[in-house]
Amino acid sequence: MFKELQDNDALSEMQQISGAGKIFVIDGEKFEVLPATLGQLEEVADLWNEKIHPVVLANFLKANKENREHLYKLLGMAFAGKVSQEKFKSLRRDQVKEILDFFLIS
């Protein structure tokens, strides 16, 4: 189960004020994603250029195991290592896109 918390959620009040992060709920637990730092963006560039082909994001089910592992690593970076790979397996592609869009573009 995944959802983005509504703007009026008390837990996300501080994020609203600072504009820093976004709270997502995965399997009933709340997790914050912050925009990537410059250092993280360098790591993302390495993953993207050398290990994650854009087709992986478009068709995750056909991705080979190595590419899936790199995508899980990217999601792990987005959640600062606080979400297990098992929880990522419950996410749909549109949810992965939303998380990575916020992490990489916000």
The pLDDT assigned to 41 comes to 87
pLDDT 10s digits, 20-75: 789 998 988 999 999 988 888 888 887 777 656 555 555 555 566 766 787 888 89
Angstrom distance (rounded) from CA 79 to CA 33? 5
- Report how far Cα 59 is from the mean position of its chain's Cα atoms: 17
Quick one: how far is CA 39 from the chain centroid? 16
Specify the residue for token string 């993207």.
Answer: 48
Q: How far is CA 1 from CA 45, 75, 78, in A?
A: 29, 16, 18
Residue 76 has pLDDT above 90, yes or no: yes
* Phi, psi angles (nearest 5°) of residue 23: -95, 135
Q: pTM for the whole thing?
A: 0.69
Residue 83 pLDDT exceeds 90: yes
Q: Hey, where are the domains in the chain?
A: 2-105
Predicted confidence at residue 46, as pLDDT, reads 79
Mean pLDDT, the chain, whole residue set? 76
Q: Are 88 and 72 in contact (CB under 8 A)?
A: yes
What pLDDT, in 10s, does the model give residues 93-106?
Answer: 888 889 988 998 87
